[in-house]
């Protein structure tokens, strides 16, 4: 029996050409594997058949939309994961679930190698290969674009020469990756960081300049996970999809950032993540109501490190697992409702309520019913500033002027 290679298959030009390209370069049989993480477009059966028509000996498809939403997007939401305070890990959070299914397919079909379509300049090569090698240490990894010199021009020529059943064009200027958590766009004229994005960059969001009437939504959370919208129960996948639709109609979630890539270069990226950005804004505000101050301060540090690990392809690492446990513990009391106004590119919180709230009206009010004993404040300030006061007195005795 010939050696087999499992290829992460998207159904596009590069991975379709890679089926024959890999077979010719290695002499191995290629098993194509596609994973649906809510990217939309063609149905999985169409993609499966195209892989077979392009020369795959087997084609495996997986509907991982609920798995992706439940086990990958929700932890990102609970961590308030925004890389460089902007990017909600659109691509990064999808790579571990795809890697997991690649390894499962390799086991099922007796493959010794896993292939992916990443270049040598991007983050995804690291995310895929670290994930695959963590879950399947015995498996080898190859990348046709990086390792077998498969350029886009060569891919087009190969597809035309072999009459592959896929549209070929040199006119599309962008590289696009998308899933239910968002959409990532790069390359083309966007590589000149002075150029503004054109209208054709966007697909998940409408122009916020011409947004419809304001849309008010009430999001119910339990354990830091959205469980209802406007009182109607939803699964995590349904919550993301519906918020993509409603927030996207208002132009919410457009992100244009020069990003620090893992490989050490800076890259201009344009993202659309209407559902993710609106849900993160709501979740963060509910945490403000329900998480104790010192715990909340430390969680921001943990959340940032969690985000960096996921961005860097360390989803399956021991440290990420430990940070998961801390974040999960903080979410026990993140229950309640957030009311948001969606309009003109902004998701604005206008109301909060929770049975596990730490907000005490009688402590906070300045009006009738105030239960805060203000007489305690003087002693608190004296003790709180004591160490600084003592240090300042020492410095002045030494002739150090604090002014």
Binding-site residue set: 8-16, 87, 117, 119, 123-124, 127, 175, 259, 271
Tokens of 93: 């959070």
Name the catalytic one among 146, 175, 215, 352.
175
Quick one: tokens of 231? 């009182």
Q: Which of 36, 50, 124, 177 is labelled catalytic?
A: 124
Concatenated DSSP letters of 133-166: HHH-TT-EEE-HHHHS---HHHHHHHHHHTT-SS
* Ramachandran angles phi, psi of 241, nearest 5°: -60, -45
Q: Can you spell out the DSSP letters for 26-91?
A: H--EEEEEEEESS--SS-HHHHHHHHHHTT-SEEEEEE-HHHHIIIIIHHHHHTT--BTTTB--TT
107 an active-site residue? no
Binding site per annotation, positions for L-aspartate: 119, 123-124
**Which residues belong to the annotated binding site for L-citrulline?**
87, 123, 127, 175, 259, 271
* CB 318, CB 333: distance < 8 Å: no
* Active site annotation includes 95: yes
User: Under DSSP, is residue 368 helix (H, G, I), strand (E, B) or coil?
Assistant: coil
Show the tokens assigned to 117: 């379509």
Residues placed in the known binding site for ATP: 8-16, 117
Choice among 48, 50, 95, 183 that is catalytic: 95
Asked whether 88 and 181 are in contact (CB, 8 A), the reply is yes
Give catalytic residue positions: 14, 95, 124, 175
């Amino acid at each position: 029996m010939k050696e087999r290679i499992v290829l992460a298959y998207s159904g596009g030009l590069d991975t379709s050409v890679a089926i024959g390209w890999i077979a010719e370069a290695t002499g191995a049989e290629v098993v194509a594997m596609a994973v649906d993480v809510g990217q939309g477009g063609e149905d999985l059966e169409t993609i499966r058949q195209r892989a077979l028509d392009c020369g795959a000996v087997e084609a495996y498809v997986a509907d991982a939309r609920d798995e992706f939403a439940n086990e990958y997007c929700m932890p990102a939401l609970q961590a308030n994961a925004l890389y460089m305070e902007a990017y909600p890990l659109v691509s990064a959070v999808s790579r571990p679930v795809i890697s997991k299914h690649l390894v499962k397919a390799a086991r099922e079909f007796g493959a010794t190698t896993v292939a992916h379509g990443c270049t040598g300049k991007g983050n995804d090569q690291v995310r895929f290969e670290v994930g695959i090698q963590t879950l399947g240490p015995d498996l080898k990894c190859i990348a046709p674009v990086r390792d077998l010199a498969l350029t886009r021009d060569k891919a087009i020529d190969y597809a035309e020469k072999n009459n592959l059943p896929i549209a070929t064009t040199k006119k599309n200027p962008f590289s696009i990756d998308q899933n239910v958590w968002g959409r990532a766009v790069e390359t083309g004229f966007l590589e000149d960081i002075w150029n503004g994005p054109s209208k054709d960059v966007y697909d998940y969001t409408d122009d916020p300049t011409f947004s419809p009437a304001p849309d008010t939504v009430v999001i119910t959370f339990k354990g830091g996970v959205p469980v209802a919208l406007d009182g109607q129960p939803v699964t995590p996948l349904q919550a993301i999809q519906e918020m993509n639709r409603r927030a996207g109609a208002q132009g919410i979630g457009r992100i244009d950032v020069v990003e620090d890539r893992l490989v050490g270069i800076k890259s201009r990226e344009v993202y659309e993540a209407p559902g993710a950005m609106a849900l993160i804004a709501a979740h963060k505000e509910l945490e403000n109501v329900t998480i104790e101050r010192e715990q909340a301060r430390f969680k921001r540090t943990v959340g940032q490190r969690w985000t960096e690990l996921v961005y860097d392809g360390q989803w399956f690492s021991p440290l990420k697992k430990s940070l998961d446990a801390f974040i999960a513990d903080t979410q026990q009391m993140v229950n309640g409702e957030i009311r948001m106004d969606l309009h003109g590119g902004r998701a604005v919180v206008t109301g909060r309520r929770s049975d596990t709230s730490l907000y005490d009206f009688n402590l906070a009010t300045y009006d009738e019913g105030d239960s805060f004993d203000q007489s305690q404040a003087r002693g608190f300030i004296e003790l709180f500033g004591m160490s600084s006061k003592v240090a300042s007195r020492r410095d002045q005795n030494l002739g150090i002027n604090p002014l």
